[in-house]
Chains A and B, each alone.
Chain A
Amino acid sequence: MSVLVQSVARILLAPILMVAFAVLVKGYADVGDGFAAGAIASLAILLQYVAFGPERTERMLPIRLLPAAAFAGLLLALGIAVAPLAGGDPLLTHPPGAGGEVVQLGSLELIGAVGFDVAIFVLVLGATLGIIHAIARQAEDEDEDEDPR
């Protein structure tokens, strides 16, 4: 890949991740939801894959545990969904309830449902990365098989 693509890709990594995070957190107030955020984040990493190739990207970025984190995200989402049962509320009763106090962080509102979105974010990121990695590794293994020939 040409140097131009590589440098642009490297520069773009952080902003794209910021955008993903913004979409995640702003999901409740504006366009966006957990899934879109996760997919955008994975696109950022996919861009690195395309620009730098799989081995270099996997060496550069700390993404080893992300596919496993997908299952952690799933469990977290399940936990958040099931946790209200302990208090006698039906499933998916996010705190705070209707008309309750909302914790504000600047202009961001932190409500229970955002935790659910975060879990989905982690899950989608991990899942897509797992798929990308599997395909990339498959290509590598194939090249290795062809080399002796």
Chain B
Amino acid sequence: MNLILALAIGVLFGCGTYLLLKPDLFRIVVGIVLIANAANLALMSSGLGRGQSPIRPLGEGAVSDPLVQAMTITALVIGFAVTALLLCLAYRIYVTSHTVDLDELSHAEARYERELEREEVSV
């Protein structure tokens, strides 16, 4: 079971990294979401027990680890807030630079800096 979980985590992480390397801002955000999900899965699978849900009254048998569950909830909520912020940030970048392509953004940034330096020298 642990091998299957590890493989799943690896797949999620790998796909997330692949998306992170794309030049599209929104794909980068999706990549970050995937990596966050991989982390959450890793968190949940590192629980010290797997069985019934930890709600009293408890029955026989193993009980799932409640601590990692609490941590995962926290991680999910924080991931949500950060993703929302990232999406709006990507949108704002689009509004100011009229592009969501990272290559075009780097070129625009370099051009802007060269203009600034030209201004500085001429002043």
Chain A residues with a Cβ under 8 A of chain B: 30-31, 33, 35, 124, 127, 131, 134-135, 138
The answer to whether A134 and B73 touch across the interface, beta carbons within 8 angstroms, is no
The answer to whether B55 and A131 touch across the interface, beta carbons within 8 angstroms, is no
Q: Which residue of B lies closest to A134 (CB)?
A: B88
Cα distance, A131 to B53, chains bound together (Å): 33
- B41-89 interface (Cβ within 8 A of A): 53, 55, 73, 77, 81, 84, 88
Chain B residues with a Cβ under 8 A of chain A: 53, 55, 73, 77, 81, 84, 88, 91
The answer to whether B73 and A33 touch across the interface, beta carbons within 8 angstroms, is yes
Q: Which residue of B lies closest to A33 (CB)?
A: B73
A sample of 10 inter-chain contacts (CB < 8 A) reads A33-B73, A35-B73, A35-B77, A124-B77, A127-B81, A131-B84, A131-B88, A134-B88, A135-B88, A138-B91
Cα distance, A33 to B73, chains bound together (Å): 10
B interface: dominant SS: helix
Please name all residues of chain B whose beta carbon is closer than 8 Å to the beta carbon of A134 when the two chains form the complex.
Answer: 88
Q: A30, A31, A33, A35 — which one has the most chain B CB atoms within 10 A of its CB?
A: A35
Partner of A30, one of B55, B81, B84, B88: B55
Q: Which residue of B lies closest to A31 (CB)?
A: B55
Q: Which residue of A lies closest to B76 (CB)?
A: A35
Q: Kindly list the 9 A-B residue pairs having the minimum CB-CB distance in the complex, ordered from nearest.
A: A131-B84, A35-B77, A30-B55, A35-B73, A31-B55, A33-B73, A134-B88, A135-B88, A127-B81
Please name all residues of chain A whose beta carbon is closer than 8 Å to the beta carbon of B55 when the two chains form the complex.
Answer: 30-31
Looking at the assembled complex, report how far the CB atom of B75 sits from the nearest CB atom of chain A, in whole angstroms. 12
Please name all residues of chain B whose beta carbon is closer than 8 Å to the beta carbon of A33 when the two chains form the complex.
Answer: 73
Please name all residues of chain A whose beta carbon is closer than 8 Å to the beta carbon of B53 when the two chains form the complex.
Answer: 31
Looking at the assembled complex, report how far the CB atom of B53 sits from the nearest CB atom of chain A, in whole angstroms. 8
Please name all residues of chain A whose beta carbon is closer than 8 Å to the beta carbon of B88 when the two chains form the complex.
Answer: 131, 134-135
Cα distance, A134 to B55, chains bound together (Å): 38
Q: A30, A124, A127, A131 — which one has the most chain B CB atoms within 10 A of its CB?
A: A131
